[in-house]
């Protein structure tokens, strides 16, 4: 299985649970594309430096198909950094055992 095979559906599912109508802040359309792999932003060290390679924040990139505006969503906030959390099947099994 490719490492990010279930990434897009997992991000879409996590966002649908949290955002009622994901509208682009620039053009007000709702034509988002989720980049098929995560992206990362370099994180400053406490010393003020950025090291390459160094710490990075894992993100999902949502791109507005109409105007190109790109939103970066924290995978940590979506709960997708836990083991197996990116696999929709594992999420569904977990939800079933929790009665959710």
Q: Enumerate binding residues for Zn ion (CB under 5 A).
A: 24, 26-27, 64, 66-67, 69
Query: Least CB distance from residue 71 to Zn ion, whole Å?
Result: 10
DSSP run (H or E) holding 90: helix 88-98
Query: Least CB distance from residue 22 to Zn ion, whole Å?
Result: 11
Q: Do you find a cis peptide bond into 53, omega within 30 degrees of 0?
A: yes
Place of tokens 């959390």: 85
Query: Least CB distance from residue 7 to Zn ion, whole Å?
Result: 22
Decide whether 24 or 75 has the Cβ nearer to Zn ion.
24
21 neighbors 31 (Cβ within 8 angstroms): no
């Amino acid at each position: 299985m490719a490492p990010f095979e279930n990434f897009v559906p997992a991000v879409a599912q996590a966002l649908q649970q949290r955002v009622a109508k994901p509208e682009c802040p620039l053009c007000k359309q709702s034509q988002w594309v989720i980049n098929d792999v995560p992206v990362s932003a370099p994180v400053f060290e406490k010393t003020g430096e950025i090291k390459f390679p160094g710490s990075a924040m894992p993100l999902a990139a949502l791109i507005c198909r109409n105007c190109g505006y790109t939103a970066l969503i924290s995978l940590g906030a979506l709960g997708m950094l836990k083991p197996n959390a990116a696999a929709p099947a594992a999420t569904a099994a977990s939800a079933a055992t929790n009665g959710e």
